[in-house]
Amino acid sequence: MLWEPGWVADYPELAGWLLQLDETQCEHLDDHPQELAVQVQTWLPGAADYGALTQIPDLQPDSGTVARITLAERDAVDMPGRKRLQAGALCAALLPIPAPALDWCCGKGHLARTLARAAGQSVTGFEWNPALVNDGNRLARRFGDPVSLRHQDVMEKNLTWPVGAHGLALHACGDLHRKLIREVIRHRSPRLSLSPCCYHLTDQASYEPLSERARQQAGNLVLSPDTIRLAVQETVTAPERVRIQTRLAKQWRLGFDGLQRELRGVDSYLPLPPHPGRLMNGDFEGFCRWAAERKSLTLPAQVDWARWEEYGAMRLHRVRRYELLRHLFRRPLELWLALDYALVLEEAGYRVRVGTFCDRALTPRNLLVDAILG
């Protein structure tokens, strides 16, 4: 029995339309959800609002300003190219920056060093990985940047907050960035600038809106971490080679899933742990032998590997097309979460901008919530 998402029974025509898409169309629509929204309006009239719902201001300044603020490559030691450009774009979108800043979950302080130069201000960084703190402080000393990174678990209850600091975070995950929002509000900090990431990384069983308005609007809506993960499931920046490997891994996992259901005589999914990358240089049989061992499953002497490999390809074909519809909700969901952050800050007396600070190709996590007190 082939697993189908629940909506297929209610929208058989929509399911049929998705299944007849060829590979090029499927990939194109996955990368261009606005076009997909137009196409599925026949069955889902609400999709007509997709464009309006997901259109947000572009907060990027002109390219000359971004280039001026971005660290030169020679000063960006240990800084991956994308991170250098993201840090430059974020700082450029925040100018002017009058208060000293606190870089929350700063890693090696790439953003902190960019900001210190852009703003002519000292920057403190909080980071819990001591190796990153040491490397970051060494880099700051070497380049003479007024940056000081501190070994600090930001989730610590009695955190010492630097009075009057502008809280700043580039891609701090779920609970980490939500803690920053709470700290900023609690200390009446002058400003918070946040580009959120990995909204689903949380200790909570389900998402608890921060703002009063989102709480009221959500009603009985339960957003589990697994649902929220959808907001960040995008491969738009992954190179083609990585996309192909990811697809093959999915296909093999689905092939093994069919095999294990038949061998166990149980029609249920067996979750597999992450597989070692080297397996992808081998073949489907090798992958299944690894998976069977993980699940203490004895394989018979004869297995029709070609049959199960083909089954995996067939399942992947369907899953990828059905997933298109699910993926349509990624950006609206992400915006709903970011707007919840903006609203709680507004409720606390901040003036808030929400928009994009760079193109999606540089990072799909390109939202900026920028809040100024008063």
Ligand X SMILES: C[S@@+](CC[C@H](N)C(=O)[O-])C[C@H]1O[C@@H](n2cnc3c(N)ncnc32)[C@H](O)[C@@H]1O
Mask for 4-33, x = binds ligand X (CB under 6 A)? ------------------------------
Cα separation of 290 and 296, whole Å? 10
Site for ligand X in 205-264 (CB under 6 A): none
> In which residue are the tokens 């240990």 written?
78
Smallest gap from Cβ 108 to ligand X, in A, equals 7
Assess contact for 168 and 101: CB atoms under 8 A. yes
Contact 107, 171 (CB under 8 A): no
> Which two structure tokens, joined as six digits, stand for 127?
């980071």
* Residue 345 sits in the site that holds ligand X (CB under 6 A): no
Stretch that binds ligand X, among 53-61, 128-136, 205-213, 330-338 (CB under 6 A): 128-136
Which residue, 156 or 283, has its beta carbon nearer to ligand X? 156
At residue 220, φ and ψ (nearest 5 deg) are -90, 10
Q: Is 91 exposed, middle or buried (0-12, 13-18, 19+ CB in 10 A)?
A: buried
Shortest Å, Cβ 103 to ligand X: 7
Q: What is the DSSP string of 189-236?
A: -SEEEEEEE-TT--SSSS---SSHHHHHHHTT----HHHHHGGG---T
In sign, the C-alpha dihedral spanning 239, 240, 241, 244 is: positive
Q: Which of 3, 7, 128, 143 binds ligand X (CB under 6 A)?
A: 128
Residue 239 beta carbon to ligand X: minimum distance, rounded to whole angstroms:
20
Q: Is 123 in the site for ligand X (CB under 6 A)?
A: no
- Strands 101-104, 123-127: pairing is parallel
Nearest CB to ligand X, comparing residues 40 and 176: 176
Residues listed for the chain: 374
Least distance between ligand X and beta carbon 332 (Å): 23
Q: What residues between 142 and 201 interact with ligand X by CB under 6 A?
A: 153-155, 170-172, 176
- CB closer to ligand X out of 200 and 320: 200
**Under the criterion CB under 6 A, does residue 127 sit at the interface with ligand X?**
yes
Residue 57 CB, nearest approach to ligand X (Å): 22
* Interface with ligand X, residue 113, by CB under 6 A: no
Of 7-15, 47-55, 126-134, 359-367, which segment contacts ligand X by CB under 6 A? 126-134
Q: Under rule CB under 6 A, how many of the chain's residues touch ligand X? A: 18
Report how far residue 174's alpha carbon sits from residue 203's, in angstroms, rounded to the nearest whole number. Answer: 9
- Which DSSP string do the residues of 28-57 spell out, in sequence order? HHHH-HHHHHHHHTTT-GGGGGHHHHH---
Q: Is 105 in the site for ligand X (CB under 6 A)?
A: yes
Euclidean distance between CA atoms 313 and 347, whole angstroms:
50
Residue 289 CB burial class (10 angstroms; 0-12, 13-18, ≥19): middle
Alpha carbons 302 and 335: distance in angstroms, whole number: 51
Q: How far is the CB of 361 from ligand X (least distance, A)?
A: 17
Distance in Å, CB of 114 to ligand X, minimum: 10
Rank residues 116 and 176 by Cβ distance to ligand X and give the closer one. 176
Q: Which of 84, 110, 200, 253 binds ligand X (CB under 6 A)?
A: 110
CB of residue 79 to ligand X, shortest distance in Å: 8
As a whole number of angstroms, the distance between CA 131 and CA 133 comes to: 5
Estimate the share of the chain in helix, then strand, then coil, as percent rounded to the nearest 5. 55, 10, 35
Among 106, 140, 185, 345, binds ligand X (CB under 6 A): 106
Closest CB to ligand X among residues 149, 354: 149
Residue closer to ligand X (CB basis): 102 or 333: 102
State the nearest-atom distance from the C-beta of 362 to ligand X, in Å.
13
Tokens representing residue 125 in the block: 């960084």
Q: Are 360 and 64 in contact (CB under 8 A)?
A: no
CB-based contact 84:101 (threshold 8 Å): no
Q: Quick one: which of 92, 100, 126, 140 contacts ligand X (CB under 6 A)?
A: 126
CB of 172 to ligand X, least distance (A): 6
Residue numbers of the site for ligand X (CB under 6 A)? 83, 105-107, 110-111, 126-129, 132, 153-155, 170-172, 176
